[in-house]
Amino acid sequence: MQPLLKALTTVALAAGLLVGASPPGSAGDAPTRRTIDWKPCAQDASAECGTLRLPVDRSRPSGETFDLAVARLAAADPARRVGVLLVNPGGPGDSGVNFAIARARSQFSADILERFDIVGFDPRGVGASRPVTCSKELLAREPSPYPRDQAEFERLAAYNRELSEDCRRRTGPIFDHADTRNVVHDMDALRRALGEEKINYFGHSYGTLIGQQYAELYGDRIRAMALTANVDHSLGARQFLVSSAASAEDSFHQFVRWCDRTPSCALHGRDVTAVWDGVLAKADRGEIRDPEKPGRLLTAHDISLYAFKAFYGPDWDRVAKYVAGLDAQRAASGTPASSVLPSGVAAEETEVRPFHAVFCQDWNIRPKNYREYARLTAAELRAAPHMRGAPRVHLAVAGCVGRPDEVNNPQHRLRVTEAPTILMLHSRHDPANHFSWAARIHRQTRDTTVLLPYEGAGHRVYDRTDCTRDAVDTYLTELNTPRKGASCAAAEEP
C-alpha cells in the first residue's frame, strides 16, 4: 500500500482545523481549531515536518488525543502548482512521512514533483503517530500459524489475546482505534489543517483502502485520486484467502517461466518447480538452514514468504539464487526458526508492530475453531500448492484468531456517490492483490472509476513503464483518464 502537501507560506499558520469534523449528523462535531507548526525535517531540511493534534476516539472529541505526524515536500515549480497530493504507500504500517521525505523524489516523476506539494502522514498507530508497540519477547514466542488440532488452535487464540493486551497496555487507547475508517477521518482533518477545499490523493496497496473509504465519506472533497494495487474490502474470509493464494501461485509460475527462458537464471536448465518443491520438502524435515543465521532452521513458510516478497519487484533473479543456494545445502539440524529468541533481547524491549491492530479492526475474519480454520487453510493450499497458500495473508488471518468478533470497520461493498472520476491501476500478475480485486471494485463503482490494467508482473505499478507513469501523471495534472478498454503492456523482463 501514499499522502499530502501545501506551499510554504500560507498553509499551516493561516489554516484552521475543525478537529473531528464529521459528515452531518455524525458523532464528533465539537469544534477545536488547530494548526500544524511546520519545521525543517531532521532527516532532510528541504522538507517540512510537523504534527496535528487529533482525538483518539471521534465519539469523545474532548478525550485523549494523539499527534499525527506529517511531512511535506513543496512543489518545485510554484508557478505551475496544481495543489496538494496526499500519499499513502501501503502496509498497513508503512510510513507516509518517510515516503515524503526519503522516497517521493525517486518514485514520482519530475512533473508531479514540480506541480504538487507531496504530503505524507503516518496513519494513527504507525511510525511517529503514536505507534502500536509490543513486547519483543512476547512477539518472539509467537506459535505456529498452522495449528494441527483444536488444542493448538486454542493456544494460538490465547496467544493473540495475550499479545493484544500487551500491545494495548504499551500503546494506549489508540490500539483499539487504529482502523482505516478512523484514518480516513484523520485525513480529512489534515485537509482542513492544510487549508485545502479539495485534495489530490495517491494510494498504493493498503493505501487504496484509505482512498476508497475517503471517497465514500468525503467524495466531494476530492479533486483527483489515483489508486494502484487495489485492495477489495468486500471479500469474505474464504474469498480473501483463496484469491490471495491464487495471486501468489500465479507469481510463482511467472517466475518459473522466466527461469526456463532466461540463461542467467541460477536454476536455468533444471526443473524449477521440482527443485522448489524439493527445497520445501527438506524444510519440512528440518534440513534447511537460514543462510544468514546458520544456527537457525527455515520452515517452508519462511522460504515461501521470502520468495513472495521478492515477487513484489519482481526480483526473480534473487529468488533463483536463493533457492539454488538452499538446494545445494547438505542436510542440516538445529532449532526451528519460530522458537529462536534473538540474541540480546531483554524481556522489556519493545517493537513497533501496527499490522494486526489495523488489519484485525478492518476485517471481520475470525475462524471460530480448528475445523473452520483447517477448511480455510485447505482451500488456500489447493489454490497455491507450490507456494503453500498465501504466505502473508495467512499470517494476517492467523493473527486475528481469538480477538473480539466486533470490528470497527467491517468489510462492505464500496459505495461512492459524490466523488469525481477515480483512476485505478493494477498489475495483471500482482503477487499480493489479485487482479479480480480491482475488477470487482471497478464493477462496484463503474460510474466513478476507470481501471487501467498493467499486463505485467509485480506489485508496484506507477513507475513500471512510461505507459503507467504517463497515465497517472496526465490524470493528476490534467484530469484526463485513459480511454475505456486501454491497458499498459508489460515492461521488458528483468
State the Cα–Cα distance between residues 91 and 464, nearest whole angstrom.
20
CA 390 to chain centre: 15
Write out pLDDT tens, residues 402-416.
999 999 999 999 999
Q: From 298, 313, 303, select the one nearest 258 (Cα to Cα).
A: 313
pLDDT attached to residue 332 = 57
DSSP for 82-119, written as a single string:
-EEEEEE--TTT--HHHIIIIIHHHHS-HHHHHHEEEE
Supply the pLDDT for residue 17. Answer: 30
* Exposure of 455 in the CB half-sphere (CA atoms within 13 A): 10
How many C-beta atoms lie closer than 10 Å to residue 149's C-beta?
Answer: 10
Cα–Cα dist 357/177, whole Å: 8
Produce one character per residue of 29-65: b if its CB has 16 or more CB atoms within 10 Å, e if not. Answer: eeebebbbebeebeeeeebbbbbbbbbbbbeebeeeb
The closest alpha carbon to 252, from 398, 90, 432, belongs to 432
As a whole number of Å, the end-to-end CA separation of the chain is 23
**pLDDT for residue 28:** 42
Can you say whether the dihedral through the CA atoms of 126, 129, 132, 134 is positive or negative? positive
pLDDT at 494: 58
Report DSSP letters for 375-400, one per residue: HHHHHHHHH-TTTTS-HHHHHHHHTT
Residues of the chain where predicted confidence (pLDDT) is lower than 50: 1-33, 337-347
In 3D, which of 431, 3, 42 has the Cα closest to residue 207? 3
273 exposure class (CB count in 10 Å sphere: 0-12, 13-18, 19+): middle
Distance CA 54, CA 94 (A): 20
Q: How many whole angstroms separate alpha carbon 280 and alpha carbon 387?
A: 9
Greatest pairwise CA separation for the chain in angstroms: 68
3-state secondary structure of 259: helix
Q: Which of 128, 125, 127, 121 is nearest to 170 (CA)?
A: 125
Q: How far apart are CA 160 and CA 398, in angstroms?
A: 9
Query: What would the pLDDT profile of 323-367 be if each residue is shown by its tens digit?
Result: 999 999 986 555 554 444 444 444 469 999 999 999 999 999 999
pLDDT in tens, 182-207: 999 999 999 999 999 999 999 999 99
Q: What is the pLDDT of residue 473?
A: 98
Q: Give CA–CA dist 85/218, Å, rounded.
A: 16
